A and B are shown apart, each in its own frame.
Chain A
Amino acid sequence: MTAITENYQAIVISFVTAILLFVVSGIGSLVLGTFLAALRVGPVAVMRRAAGVYVTSVRNIPLLVVLLFLYYAGPKIGVTFRFVDIVVPTGWGDIRMTNAFATAVVGLTLYTSCFVCEAIRSGINAVPVGQAEAARAIGLPFSGVMRQVVLPQAFRAALPPLASTQIALLKNTTVAIAITVLETAYQLKQLTDANPGDRWWLLAVFAGGFVLLVEVVSFASNRMERRWRVAR
């Protein structure tokens, strides 16, 4: 128990780092994933194929390999994020958003956007073709069909799988331990190495933190789902 009371500041900082990773790459993956989905359902066959190849290959490679590639192999071919250097000093310790943090954000975004793309695509596929036909039949132009009929339904149908991808992203922030981002898994490892007697308490605190965060995200998504549910 002493390991927690003495190090609560470092634990909180590690969770803040993980949440920052989650928020930044969450927004990034939603943007990039939507773009990929637009390519995949678009009318141009080459774009569909290219996006399809990208999604299939990246989603079948472990996130850890993606991160290690960016961190160790990237600099060899001139891909670095050294220009990112933000250190936020707080009373409890620094939040370091530097090279490793930026690499983790890019890796998490690239990886998660593939799953976001698939979620959005399944949402669009869930809209019956008859809906668009009916919308065109009453004389709506293409933009009207999209804005008023297809996309609202597609987005609502895509909400539950999208929430799943974001929850997976939240848990995947721990993988950034491999490229020395000082987040939760890193802190857990440090503290269990230093205080082997307190490891059950440490697991309870760190696991409890994640259970809490996951419940917050899934509660929010459930509320949105209920509010926007399409009656069919």
Chain B
Amino acid sequence: MSTSVLFDAPGPKTVRRHRLYTVLTVVGLLALLGLVGWRLASSGQLEGDKWEVFVTPAYLERILVDGVLETLKMAAGGIVGAVVLGLVLGIGKLSDHAVVRVPSWALVEFFRAVPVLMLMIFFFSVYGIYNGDSGPFWCVVWALSLYNGAVLAEVFRAGILAVPAGQAEAAYAIGMRKTQVVWIILLPQAVRIMIPAIISQCVVTLKDTSLGYAIAAPGLTALARPLYLEFQNHVPVFLVIAAIYLVLNLLLTALANVVQRRFVGEKKQLEVSAVGTADQRTV
């Protein structure tokens, strides 16, 4: 840790003290794990029949098809919608014309500030309730598209602004129109910078599909209730669902890192704050 801003390289006394801390921490963590294990065992949550359902082929198929597949479908729909909307709003926010710029800005600010769950509940009351099984599914996809579209709009805007200004100036100098400059010069370069941020947003989208629970949409969380009502295995059910989300999201994060290294290099990842950015620059 000699490169840390917080500490010097430790001397012999400090090294000994750190060893003591290490031992104490390990003992504490083991005690904590033991306590959790003992609690699980003494309340009978580790018994085989409570976990058997997760290796039973019929239920496994349900978890993978009704759970994972539906969740991934909703997340994919949300991301596709978000990319399209984000592109439109992001470029809209950079427009020279206030007629386009102001509504784009207002839509982005609105959909970033309103909780996704509220949008879902609203869409459910407008559309989902009248459309049977597919209704809640599409409510989740729309709500995710609008929210993540507003976030991605900022990503697109920041990505376009991150392209060195000389590129656009050179393009104007050889007589290109503004549309050409954006589509031929700026966007292709910006997309490279943006891809990791877009994949990171996929993690958010995937997690947010779980909110469909409130409007009875399909997906992993919707499986929890029938499973724990049937087998009385609340703890295993939620642990398994959490683990599936964890694995899916870690895979996405790993993908984002690989893409970052291949397309962007060692440059810093594009940073986009959630709401209320101070600078509202235009090209």
Contact = CB atoms under 8 A, between A and B. Distances in A.
A78 B213 contact: no
Contacts of B249: 60-61
Given A61-B246, A69-B242, A175-B211, A218 B6 contact: no
A125 B275 CA distance: 23
Interface residues on B, range: 35 or more
Contacts, number: 171
Contacts of A202: 122
A221 interface: yes
Interface string B222-263: 001000100000110111011001100110010000000000
B179 interface: no
A77 B214 contact: no
Contacts of A215: 113, 276
B118 A207 contact: yes
A171 interface: yes
Given A65-B238, A210-B115, A219 B276 contact: yes
B283 interface: no
Q: Would you call the interface of chain A mostly helix, strand, loop, or mixed?
A: helix
Interface in B44-66: 45
Nearest to B241: A65
B21 A47 contact: yes
Interface in A177-216: 177-178, 184-185, 188-189, 192-193, 196, 199, 202-203, 206-207, 210-211, 214-215
A211 B274 CA distance: 13
B117 A177 contact: yes
A221 B276 contact: yes
Interface of B is mostly: helix
A132 B14 CA distance: 19
Listed from nearest, the 4 A-B pairs whose CB atoms lie closest are: A218-B276, A62-B210, A164-B274, A60-B249
29 contacts: A43-B10, A46-B25, A46-B29, A47-B25, A60-B203, A60-B246, A61-B245, A62-B210, A63-B207, A65-B221, A65-B241, A68-B213, A68-B224, A72-B238, A73-B234, A73-B235, A73-B239, A76-B43, A128-B5, A132-B6, A167-B276, A174-B115, A184-B118, A188-B118, A202-B122, A203-B118, A210-B115, A215-B113, A225-B278
Interface of B: 1, 3-8, 10, 14, 18, 21-22, 25-26, 29, 39-40, 43, 45, 109-110, 112-118, 121-122, 125-126, 203, 207-208, 210-211, 213-214, 221, 224, 228, 234-235, 237-239, 241-242, 245-246, 249-250, 253, 273-276, 278
